[in-house]
């Protein structure tokens, strides 16, 4: 059932993202602002329990609904497969909806297309705006090849691979938990960059919790990039990074994903290198990796390792 929901969710994410802007979840900012205000009052030793409580609270309705629908679908045993599938339909539809809202907050492929169109039209303001959103910091280099490549690989982990991994691991609850942690991280970073208040301790706590959640999906994404691109270059880059990096394991995610992703692209650019071509090729590598993930999950489902 998870495989069916995953495929439907990914298709819906690609087809409906231009029509629906609800996934940006701007209305959720008020909840995170309230949580940030409470975290600011907590002593250091209560910061991490406070972050976990802030993340788990919005997950409770998803958990209750998921458990109810899953238990209802398994309470009766049907002799015919078609009837069983129909009885599981409410849970599948619920999982698809949660997955759709967890992917994002915007479709990465559409954003990359928007960036490429702006670069090719020599619209510096438009390309800088998209690049700033992808990098999550103010960025004036509208044609910065390395910046756009790194941003795509980092955002692919936060918007796609992290969600998919936790969806397969924990179902709709896992997907929504990961999205909540990413939204919390983004909101706190936004507040810290635009206000004079000191958010350092709270920001570090939220970043660390999100870093723990993203660690394993990031490494599995790296394997996908290696299989989708230049395997030797990607693995050599990964080994070299791990030997020389002195960052804690949960804080090296963005750097190692960007480093290995770029290394896996070796030989991709046959034409004259430019930021538009680099962005399209980085996105092509991400799409190949998504295909590999779905294929592996499908094989795991066939052999009973994923449900």
114-126 tens-digit pLDDT: 999 988 888 888 8
* Assigned domain for 170 exists: yes
The answer to whether the Cα torsion of 141, 144, 150, 153 is positive or negative is: positive
What end-to-end distance do the CA atoms of the chain give, in Å?
6
Using alpha carbons, list the distances in angstroms from residue 162 to 94, 217, 220, 298: 19, 5, 10, 18
DSSP 225-268: HHHHS-HHHHHHHHHHHHHH--S-GGG-HHHHHHHHHHHHTTT-
* Assigned domain for 266 exists: yes
Residue 22 has what pLDDT? 56
* Assigned domain for 138 exists: yes
Residue 237 has what pLDDT? 93
* Assigned domain for 156 exists: yes
Residue 81 has what pLDDT? 41
Listed residue (155, 280, 288) closest to 225, CA to CA:
288
Given a cut of 70, the residues of the chain with pLDDT beneath it are 17-25, 72-87, 139-143, 196, 249-250, 268-273, 305-307
What does the pLDDT look like over 248-286, one tens digit per residue? Answer: 766 789 999 999 999 999 876 555 567 888 899 999 999
* Assigned domain for 307 exists: no
Residue 24 has what pLDDT? 64
DSSP state of 88: T
* Assigned domain for 152 exists: yes
Residue 143 has what pLDDT? 63
pTM of the model: 0.90
Query: What gap in Å lies between CA 82 and CA 84, rounded to an integer?
Result: 5
Number of domains making up the chain: 1
Using alpha carbons, list the distances in angstroms from residue 173 to 18, 64, 67, 207, 208: 25, 9, 10, 20, 20
Residue 86 has what pLDDT? 45
Domain of 142, in residue numbers:
2-302
Instruction: Indicate the length of the chain as a whole number.
Output: 307
Phi then psi dihedrals of residue 42, to 5 deg? -85, 150
* Assigned domain for 31 exists: yes
Residue 80 has what pLDDT? 47
């Amino acid at each position: 059932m998870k495989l069916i929901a995953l495929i439907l969710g990914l298709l819906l994410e690609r087809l409906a993202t231009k029509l629906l802007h609800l996934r940006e979840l701007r209305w959720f900012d008020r909840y995170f602002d309230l949580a940030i205000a409470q975290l600011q009052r907590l002593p250091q030793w209560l910061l991490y329990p406070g972050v976990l409580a802030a993340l788990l609270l919005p997950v409770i309705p998803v958990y209750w609904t998921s458990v109810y629908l899953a238990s209802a679908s398994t309470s009766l045993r049907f002799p015919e497969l078609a009837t069983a599938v129909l009885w599981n339909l409410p849970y599948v539809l619920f999982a698809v909806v949660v997955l759709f809202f967890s992917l994002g907050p915007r479709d990465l492929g559409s954003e990359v297309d928007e960036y490429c169109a702006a670069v090719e039209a020599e619209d510096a303001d438009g390309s800088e705006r998209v690049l700033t959103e992808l990098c999550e910091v103010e960025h004036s280099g509208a044609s910065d090849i390395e910046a756009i490549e790194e941003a795509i690989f980092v955002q692919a982990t936060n918007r796609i691979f992290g969600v998919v991994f936790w969806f397969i691991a924990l179902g709709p609850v896992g997907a929504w938990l990961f999205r909540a942690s990413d939204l919390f991280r983004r909101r706190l970073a936004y507040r810290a960059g635009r206000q004079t208040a000191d958010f350092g301790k709270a920001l570090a706590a939220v970043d660390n919790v999100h870093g723990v959640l993203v660690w394993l999906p990031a490494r599995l994404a790296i394997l996908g990039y290696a299989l989708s691109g230049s395997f030797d270059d990607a693995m050599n880059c990964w080994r070299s990074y791990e030997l020389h990096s002195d960052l804690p394991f949960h804080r090296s995610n963005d750097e190692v994903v960007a480093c290995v992703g770029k290394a896996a692209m070796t030989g991709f650019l046959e034409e004259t290198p430019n930021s538009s071509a680099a962005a399209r090729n980085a996105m092509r590598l991400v799409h190949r990796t998504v295909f590999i993930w779905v294929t592996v999950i499908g094989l795991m489902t066939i052999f009973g390792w994923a449900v």
